[in-house]
A and B are shown apart, each in its own frame.
Chain A
Amino acid sequence: MTRKTFIKEFKELFREGRLRIAFFLVVLLLGVSVWISAQQYQKINKQHEIAKTAERTIWDNQGKKNPHSAAHYGTYAFKPKYPLSLVDQGVDKYTGTSIFLEAHKRNEAQYSAAADQTGLSRFGDLTPDFILLFIIPLLIILLGYNSFTKEREMGTITLLRSQEITFWKWAMGKWAALFLPILILIASLFLIAGIILSYLKDFGVFQWDSLFWIFLVYVGYYIVFMNLVLFVSSKVKKSGVSLVLSISIWILTCLAIPKVASNVAENKYPYPTRQEFAVNVLKDKKQGLDGHNPWSKEAQLLQKNVLKKHGVDSLHQLPFNFDAYRMQKGEEHEAEIYFKHYNYLKEQFSKQSGVYKGLASFSPYLPTRFMSMAISHTDYATHWDFADAAEKYRIATQKFLNDNFAENSKYGNWKYQADADFWKQLPAFEYTPPELRTVLSKNASNLFILGGWVIGSFILFLFSTKKIK
């Protein structure tokens, strides 16, 4: 019965002109969005490679220079574009592409794609994730809203009820007929994306298993929508009512709840403004050691302790340059302050994520969105991870430079210059995003919630079809 109904429904679906048109439009939109994303992706990666190489060349070829001057001159940590951003661009557009690494200061990522766009960018971009998250659920609604209501409206339900049919088996036939075209559609998309990513060079490390996991997440998301749409269709009498209710669910889950979640999270756990953040950091910095200020109370205390430790009376008697040593200690103090303040931001972010996760019970969109971005390495967590790695590199770079300054000169010798070859000894900044296993374990709650949605909505659908009148 399930197989017969599946074949019947499938034939009916594709004999309806409007559905063929809708399906064609979605395929076209997906094709265009993948093509646009692939182009952007190639362009950004090319720019990334050029900038990274150019910046390293400049660093390596500074010539003879004082290490602390080089520290202030700074360098850049470039955020890589990850292969799966072809599927989900996540928050990449807003988070910035590079971080300027300099002495005494932790900087924010800058040069975000959104900053380079006009106000029209508020309308959003045509990206595969937009189609996957918003348009395909609409296609599911269009394909399934009248799945049961049409039987009532046409009167075929009477004939069916007069047969000895098992309604859940019959309903499963309808379910399968709706699932198959969606499955074929997204399987094709992911396969094409995988092939493109496998064949394009310089696209970072592409992993089929990550792509497969995103595919599974979206399959789960669509199953939830299918179950909800079919549930509504089985419960109401008119196709029009079913369509309106299904679209209302889409509006609620894809548009309203995510925005409500964002507002609630922001209100409950607000980030400090950029100005507040800067003022707080400055306030803390003033209470500690400033590497450039030898007359401060903290610098005097450090000097006293160092002299005592080395058993000498004068800074000139120390086997290293105390100025450089003090600057390194200042760096370490400032790094702690930045760590403290950025940790507060991360805590707020974590609490905001908690709010999102709480509201994910009301919207399958939220866990899907988070999982998709996380696996694609385009979420805020990956950005934080990158920013932390850049900060670690900055601290290590400052130590590398200050140590060279301290070890190769004496107190008061600000004219010291490192050799021209010295700069090449600094390892290049390399960032590896979290592995798939780590991402999945960190997002276990999202997986669990989405799984709950899949199972819960399926049970709801099956119970609703136990007896259809």
Chain B
Amino acid sequence: MITTHNLTKTYNEQTALDRLNLQVNEGEIYCLLGANGAGKTTTINLLLGFISPSSGNAFINNIEVSKNTKETKKFLAYIPENLMLYPNLTALENLDYFSGIAQKKLSKKDLVSFLTEAGLQEKAFNKRISSFSKGMRQKVGIAIALAKDAKVLLLDEPTSGLDPKASNEFGRLLGKLSKKGVATLMATHDLFRAKEIATNIGIMKDGQLKEEFIANHISLPDLENTYLDTMNFKEAVL
């Protein structure tokens, strides 16, 4: 579902992403780990078509993003680090609007069922988003993805700032989506959450994918050690 071939992005001779080759299949959750500036967000922005690659290609559902940006967006749902919705609209109204502009004709019953599936409490359905916590907003974001029937989910640091309970709940939601066949690419700093929910894990540094694992094949301590080694943090600490 998500494929990149030597995907590269440079800004004024500075390489933000260097020949990234990535494959995320149906039902997989791929977590990209890395420090700030490692190239995680650049990867997501390239997949969203927000920026154009300097070289290489990105594909969503076998469609090249840079050539058919609008077409690829049909399959995409995106949840940024700080998902911002319309504060003066209720959760239901936000969901109705975003599913509406995605050309989905849904009844109120459908909308309610998506919010319920995303784990939002019923009493919050008709409350304005301005009173929502970040975790609640992320749930509305998931509901938008569900309503859109997205095949690909791109997440940029979605659990940053969430309390452990909300973060755990969010992880479980991604698991649910994964079972439905959604291919998820998640950029995160959170090793623990990555190990818990991912099927595949990649470690990025200086725009390059340095390490790649199948999540089940590596323990959390090993992942942590590898991550710190890759980042040269151990030497820095010593």
User: A161-B48, A162-B76, A164-B70 given as contacts; is B100 within 8 A of A156 (CB)?
Assistant: no
Stretch of B7-15, B85-93, B114-122, B190-198 lying at the A interface: B85-93
* Contact present for A8 and B78 (CB under 8 Å): no
Q: Which of B50, B86, B101 contacts A165 (CB 8 A)?
A: B101
CB distance from A3 to the nearest CB of B (A): 8
Q: Which of A7, A163, A170 contacts B73 (CB 8 A)?
A: A163
CB distance from A84 to the nearest CB of B (A): 40
* Contact present for B89 and A154 (CB under 8 Å): no
Chain B residues near A164 (CB-CB < 8 A): 70-71, 73-74, 102-103
Q: Does B84 contact A (CB under 8 A)?
A: yes
Within 8 A of B (CB), among A148-164: 154-156, 158-164
* Contact present for B101 and A170 (CB under 8 Å): yes
Chain B residues near A165 (CB-CB < 8 A): 101
Q: Which of B74, B84, B101 contacts A154 (CB 8 A)?
A: B84
Q: Does B82 contact A (CB under 8 A)?
A: yes
User: A1-B100, A160-B101 given as contacts; is B86 within 8 A of A8 (CB)?
Assistant: yes
* Contact present for A12 and B89 (CB under 8 Å): yes
| Assembled-state Cα–Cα distance A170/B89 (Å) | 17
* Contact present for A162 and B73 (CB under 8 Å): yes
* Contact present for B80 and A159 (CB under 8 Å): yes
CB distance from B141 to the nearest CB of A (A): 8
Q: Does B97 contact A (CB under 8 A)?
A: yes
Q: Which of B74, B84, B85, B97 contacts A4 (CB 8 A)?
A: B97
CB distance from A181 to the nearest CB of B (A): 16
Chain A residues near B48 (CB-CB < 8 A): 161-162
Chain A residues near B88 (CB-CB < 8 A): 11-12, 15-16
| Interface size class of chain B, counting residues whose CB lies under 8 Å from the partner chain | 20 to 34
* Contact present for A161 and B101 (CB under 8 Å): no
User: A159-B80, A161-B50, A163-B73 given as contacts; is B85 within 8 A of A5 (CB)?
Assistant: no
Q: Does B132 contact A (CB under 8 A)?
A: no
Q: Which of B82, B87, B101 contacts A5 (CB 8 A)?
A: B101
* Contact present for A155 and B82 (CB under 8 Å): yes
| Assembled-state Cα–Cα distance A154/B88 (Å) | 12
* Contact present for A8 and B50 (CB under 8 Å): no
* Contact present for B73 and A159 (CB under 8 Å): no
Chain B residues near A155 (CB-CB < 8 A): 80, 82-84
CB distance from A46 to the nearest CB of B (A): 50
Q: Please name the residue on chain B nearest to A164 by beta carbon.
A: B73
Chain B residues near A160 (CB-CB < 8 A): 101
* Contact present for B87 and A154 (CB under 8 Å): yes
Chain A residues near B74 (CB-CB < 8 A): 164
* Contact present for B87 and A163 (CB under 8 Å): no
Chain B residues near A15 (CB-CB < 8 A): 88
Chain A residues near B87 (CB-CB < 8 A): 154
User: A4-B97, A8-B93, A12-B89 given as contacts; is B102 within 8 A of A163 (CB)?
Assistant: yes
CB distance from A62 to the nearest CB of B (A): 74
* Contact present for B93 and A162 (CB under 8 Å): no
| Assembled-state Cα–Cα distance A15/B93 (Å) | 13
Chain B residues near A5 (CB-CB < 8 A): 97, 101
| Assembled-state Cα–Cα distance A159/B97 (Å) | 12
Chain B residues near A159 (CB-CB < 8 A): 78, 80, 83-85, 98, 144
* Contact present for B73 and A8 (CB under 8 Å): no
Q: Please name the residue on chain A nearest to B74 by beta carbon.
A: A164
Q: Please name the residue on chain B nearest to A169 by beta carbon.
A: B101
* Contact present for B70 and A158 (CB under 8 Å): no
CB distance from A152 to the nearest CB of B (A): 10
* Contact present for B101 and A1 (CB under 8 Å): yes
| Assembled-state Cα–Cα distance A27/B76 (Å) | 45
| Assembled-state Cα–Cα distance A163/B48 (Å) | 9
| Assembled-state Cα–Cα distance A5/B100 (Å) | 9
* Contact present for B80 and A8 (CB under 8 Å): no
Q: Please name the residue on chain B nearest to A5 by beta carbon.
A: B101
* Contact present for A8 and B102 (CB under 8 Å): no
Most buried by A among B96, B98, B101, B144: B101
Chain A residues near B76 (CB-CB < 8 A): 162
User: A8-B93, A154-B86 given as contacts; is B80 within 8 A of A163 (CB)?
Assistant: no
Chain B residues near A7 (CB-CB < 8 A): 97
Most buried by B among A1, A4, A7, A16: A4
Chain B residues near A1 (CB-CB < 8 A): 100-101, 103
Chain B residues near A162 (CB-CB < 8 A): 48, 73, 76-78, 154
CB distance from A171 to the nearest CB of B (A): 12
Q: Please name the residue on chain A nearest to B154 by beta carbon.
A: A162
Chain B residues near A161 (CB-CB < 8 A): 48, 50
Within 8 A of B (CB), among A30-68: none
CB distance from A288 to the nearest CB of B (A): 77
User: A163-B73, A164-B74 given as contacts; is B101 within 8 A of A4 (CB)?
Assistant: yes
Most buried by B among A7, A15, A164: A164
Chain B residues near A8 (CB-CB < 8 A): 86, 89, 93, 97
Q: Please name the residue on chain A nearest to B156 by beta carbon.
A: A158
| Assembled-state Cα–Cα distance A170/B97 (Å) | 11
Chain A residues near B71 (CB-CB < 8 A): 164
Chain B residues near A11 (CB-CB < 8 A): 88-89, 93
CB distance from B96 to the nearest CB of A (A): 8
Closest 7 pairs (CB-CB, A-B): A155-B84, A162-B78, A4-B100, A164-B73, A15-B88, A8-B97, A154-B84
Hey, which bits of chain A sit against chain B, CB under 8 A? Answer: 1, 4-5, 7-8, 11-12, 15-16, 154-156, 158-165, 170
Q: A11-B88, A163-B98 are in contact. List 16 more A-B contacts (CB 8 A).
A: A4-B96, A4-B100, A4-B101, A11-B89, A16-B88, A154-B84, A154-B87, A156-B85, A156-B86, A159-B78, A159-B85, A160-B101, A162-B76, A163-B101, A163-B102, A165-B101
Q: List 10 A-B contacts (CB under 8 A).
A: A1-B101, A5-B101, A7-B97, A155-B83, A162-B48, A162-B76, A162-B77, A164-B71, A164-B73, A164-B102
